[in-house]
Amino acid sequence: MDGQALASPASYDLDSVRADFPILSQHMHGKPLVFLDSAASAQKPRQVIDAVSRFYETGYANIHRGVYQLSQDATEAYEATRETVRAFINADSTKEIIFTRGATEGINLVANSWGRTFLKAGDEVVLSAIEHHSNIVPWQMLRDAIGITIKVAPVDDEGALDFDAYEALLSEKTKLVAFVHISNAIGTELPAKQMIAAAHKVGAKVLVDGCQAAPHRPLDMQDLDADFYVFSGHKVYGPTGIGVLYGKRALLEAMPPWQGGGDMISTVTFEKTTWNDLPYKFEAGTPNIAGGIGLKAALDYVLAIGFEAIMAHEADLLAYATEKLAPLNDIRLIGCSPKRAGILSIVMEGCHPHDIGTILDREGIAVRAGHHCAQPAMDRFNVPGTARASFGLYTSRADVDALIRGLEKVKSIFG
C-alpha cells in the first residue's frame, strides 16, 4: 500500500506548497531528492528566496543610520520583521525581540549577560537529559567561570520527561531552568508550560530552546510564560544567520549588553559610554539585514498555511511513517514519547547510522546520521547515534515511502 490506504487529511494543497520550494525538484545521484533533514535546516520557499534577492537588488542599504530614503526603507523593512516575530510568538512588545545569529547565540547571550550578572557560585541551573549541545555547553562554560552547579532532569525509556524527578530537582537554589521545547534528537515535546510553572514556583527563571518548536507549533509567550525563548530562522524556512532571542522586558532591561560596538550605544566618549534602548542594546554591529527580511517572508509563509493545518499534516505523516516502519524487523525508533514532533530517530541492528545515511544518500534520500549534537541524549539510550529523518511542512507520504524503500535497501546490503 503506497500512500492511499490511510485517509490523508487534505489540510492544505501539498503539491502547490511543494512547488513553492524549488530545491525539492532537484535530483541527487540521479534520483529525485527526498529531503528528510528539516530538523537540521529547513528548505526555503520561493517567497523567502525572492524577498532576499529583491532586497539586495532594489532595497539594500545599511539600517538605523542613513538619512537617505533607501536606508530608511531598509530600516523599516527590517523592523517590520521584528513586529512579525513579536506577533508570531505573541510577545508583549518588539522591545522584547532581540535578533541574533541563531538560537545558539541567543543562549550564549543569556548565559553571558544575565548569567554572569545574576548567578553566583552554588546557584543551580537545571537542564533536561535531551538537550542540544547548544543548551549544555554555554552553561558548562559559565559553571567553569563562576561556579554554578548543573543538574539534569532525566527522561524515561520513551524519551518523555520524568516530571516527578524534574520537580524534585527544583529548590530555592535553582535559579534557572533551561530546556528544549522539542528535542531535535528524538522528537520529544517537553511539557513546557508545566515545567515553567513549576520552575517559577521556586523563583527560578526559565529559558526555552524553541528551535524545533517554532516550525511545528504555534508559540504564545503570554500563555507559556517563558522568561527567555530562542529559535533560529533557518529551521523555520528562513535564511541562515538570523535568529531570535525573546526575553521578558524587565529582565532584558536589567541585563548589561554582551557585545559592544555600533548600533548598541547611545553616546560614546572615551570616558563613558551609555547604552542604547531595547532591543538595540543587545544588537552590536551591522545585523544580518537581508536575513531579517527573509525571516519575515518565512514567518508570513508559515502563518499563511497556519499551524493547525501544519500540525495536522505532520501528525498524519508521523502516524503513517510509524505504521510503515513497524513491520521492518531490526529497526527501532529511539524516542516514542506520546507527545512528539515529526522526527524519526532510527537505529538498525548490526548497522551503523553512518552506513544507513550513506546508502540512503545514494538513493537520493537526505537524512542526518550521528548524535545530532546531543551526545548525552544518545548516551541515555545507549546508542552511538541514530539515522534521523525529520519532516517539514512540505514532506509528503511519498517521501516516507521512499524512506521505507531506502531502509529496505540498507537491510539488503548489510543484512
**Mask: binding to other proteins, 27-56, rule CB under 8 A, as x and -?**
--x---------------------------
Contacting residue, 138, 353, 364, 392, with other proteins by CB under 8 A:
353
Q: Which is nearer to other proteins, 238 or 385 (CB)?
A: 385
The three three-digit cell numbers of residue 189, written as one number: 515535546
Q: Which is nearer to other proteins, 291 or 385 (CB)?
A: 385
Phi and psi based region of residue 341 (left: phi greater than 0; alpha: psi -120 to 50; beta: remaining): beta
Catalytic status, residue 336: no
Q: What is the closest distance, in whole angstroms, from the C-beta atom of residue 351 to other proteins in the complex? A: 7
Q: What is the closest distance, in whole angstroms, from the C-beta atom of residue 370 to other proteins in the complex? A: 4
Q: Which stretch binds other proteins (CB under 8 A): 217-225, 258-266, 364-372, 392-400?
A: 364-372
Indicate whether 208 belongs to the interface with other proteins (CB under 8 A).
Answer: no
The three three-digit cell numbers of residue 215, written as one number: 516550525
Helices (H) and strands (E) counted in the chain, each on its own, are: 15, 17
Q: Which is nearer to other proteins, 115 or 357 (CB)?
A: 357
The continuous run of DSSP H or E covering 102 comes out as none
Q: Which is nearer to other proteins, 213 or 360 (CB)?
A: 360
Contacting residue, 54, 133, 173, 352, with other proteins by CB under 8 A:
352
Largest CA distance in the chain: 74
Indicate whether 357 belongs to the interface with other proteins (CB under 8 A).
Answer: yes
- Burial category of 330 from C-beta neighbours within 10 Å (exposed 0-12, middle 13-18, buried 19 and up): middle
The three three-digit cell numbers of residue 177, written as one number: 531552568
Distance from the Cα of residue 34 to its chain's centroid? 21
The three three-digit cell numbers of residue 383, written as one number: 546508542
Indicate whether 249 belongs to the interface with other proteins (CB under 8 A).
Answer: no
The three three-digit cell numbers of residue 112, written as one number: 553571558
Indicate whether 413 belongs to the interface with other proteins (CB under 8 A).
Answer: yes
Q: Which is nearer to other proteins, 126 or 378 (CB)?
A: 378
Taking residue 258's Cβ as centre, other Cβ atoms within 10 Å add up to 19
Number of residues that bind other proteins (CB under 8 A): 18
- 367-389: burial string, b at 16+ Cβ within 10 Å, e else: bbbbbbbbebbbebbeeebbbbb
Indicate whether 250 belongs to the interface with other proteins (CB under 8 A).
Answer: no
The conformation of residue 55, written as its DSSP 8-state character, comes to I
**Mask: binding to other proteins, 377-406, rule CB under 8 A, as x and -?**
-------xx---------------------
Q: Where are the beta strands (DSSP E) in 29-95?
A: 31-32, 34-35
Indicate whether 415 belongs to the interface with other proteins (CB under 8 A).
Answer: no
Q: What is the closest distance, in whole angstroms, from the C-beta atom of residue 347 to other proteins in the complex? A: 13
d(CA 215, CA 237): 8
Indicate whether 137 belongs to the interface with other proteins (CB under 8 A).
Answer: no
Positions marked active-site: 373
Binding residues (CB under 8 A) for other proteins: these are 29, 351-355, 357-359, 362, 369-371, 384-385, 409, 413-414
